[in-house]
Amino acid sequence: MMKSTLITASLVVFSLGVYAQAKKQPISQPLVSHIFTADPSAHVFEGKIYIYPSHDIETGVSQNGDGDHFDMRDIHVLSMDKIGEKVTDHGIAIDKKDIPWAGRQLWAPDAAYKNGTYYLYFPLKDKNDVFKIGVATSKKPYGPFKAEKEPIKGSFSIDPAVFKDSDGSFYLYFGGIWGGQLQRWATGSYNPDGKLKTPNEVAFSPKVAKLSADMKSFTEEPKDVQILDENGKVLLESDNTKRFFEGAWMHKYKGKYYLSYSTGDTHFVSYATSDNPYGPFTYKGVVLNPVEGWTTHHSIVEIKGKWYLFYHDVQLSGKTHLRNIKVTELKYNPDGTIQTITAYR
């Protein structure tokens, strides 16, 4: 009896030891822990690093495939002087209650600067529960931002990412399938019964539209940003480890355009490159392997000659909808490919 208890006890201790060794440690720690944050869009403004994240909160909405549990109501802007230094929370930059057309779910924002004004772009469901993209302005990078009375005309779906090209043109990339509703716009107008693609169909693409001089409207109908595989064939829905799902981001490195995005249900941040901001883009590989949590959403930014990946996981809460943002260095190979990051080791 004694002996078997001892054997059991040592087996437990041994297993725990093996588990402790096997449990990987995160490569980065949450940038803030006093609030939950996600979907970090980072920029350098006025010599500081500004981060425009979603502000995750618990509102008791239960989890479903449409992401209703991501029930965010305001946006805080964060900043830091340098990577690794203290992070300042500038408080509420915009609140859903001050957005005239607001319904629910204030999702992943991004921001841009032009001619003395900061522009905050945000996805939000209108009063008919349809995601649109709004814009708000401020004279300061951290707000408070004042929303326009209506969403951007011709906008739809989620995850706006604004990109300033070397010639000074601004483009808005956006879109997301499933709860992001992109499938409901497949015919060019809203259809609440719009279906997802079947495996052999061409996958949904992110959208892009050039912004007007005042940064508050599109100068053109949003266009599909095609992503091709290594053999020049357009990605299919069955290529779901490579195809676009949500969370597009654009950056330029050594003259090439890099479109990176989440593959959603397969949980990668992947990327594709092109010589043109409209594409077509060619799939190149994985930026970030799956993180803890369902969603993965990122931004890539150059800060003082080094490149960084801002991303999130659920280290603090263990819950899908209560995420925390992080940052780690991103490196390129001499041929311009990105070295894949694994967030745990």
> Mind telling me the catalytic residues?
39, 246
Nearer to ligand FUB, 134 or 247 (CB): 247
User: Which regions of 215-316 does DSSP assign to beta strands (E)?
Assistant: 223-224, 227-228, 246-253, 256-262, 269-274, 281-288, 299-303, 306-313
Rounded CA gap, 341 and 260, in Å? 13
Is residue 110 at the binding interface for ligand FUB, with CB under 6 A as the rule?
no
Nearest in space to 158 (alpha carbons), one of 114, 118, 104: 104
Take residue 318 and report the two structure tokens written for it.
């263990």
Is residue 247 at the binding interface for ligand FUB, with CB under 6 A as the rule?
yes
Is residue 107 at the binding interface for ligand FUB, with CB under 6 A as the rule?
yes
β-bridge mates for residue 146, sequence order: 137
Among 32, 38, 133, 259, binds ligand FUB (CB under 6 A): 38
Is residue 54 at the binding interface for ligand FUB, with CB under 6 A as the rule?
yes
Take residue 118 and report the two structure tokens written for it.
């900061």
CA angle, 188 as apex, 158 and 225 as ends, to 5°?
60
- The contact pattern for ligand FUB, residues 293-332, with x = CB under 6 A and - = no contact, is --x-x-----------------------------------
Nearer to ligand FUB, 263 or 295 (CB): 295
CB of 228 to ligand FUB, least distance (A): 23
Size of the site for ligand FUB (CB under 6 A): 14
Cis amide prior to 160 (ω within 30 degrees): no
CB of 283 to ligand FUB, least distance (A): 19
**Which residue is listed with tokens 């609030």?**
35
Nearer to ligand FUB, 48 or 178 (CB): 178
Is residue 70 at the binding interface for ligand FUB, with CB under 6 A as the rule?
yes
Phi, psi values for residue 338, rounded to 5°? -95, 135
Is residue 145 at the binding interface for ligand FUB, with CB under 6 A as the rule?
no
Nearer to ligand FUB, 182 or 211 (CB): 182
Residue 40 has a CB neighbour count (10 Å cut-off) of 27
Is residue 175 at the binding interface for ligand FUB, with CB under 6 A as the rule?
no
Rounded CA gap, 325 and 164, in Å? 24
Nearer to ligand FUB, 131 or 308 (CB): 131
Rounded CA gap, 321 and 64, in Å? 11
Residues that bind ligand FUB (CB under 6 A): 38-39, 54, 67, 70, 107-108, 158-159, 176, 246-247, 295, 297
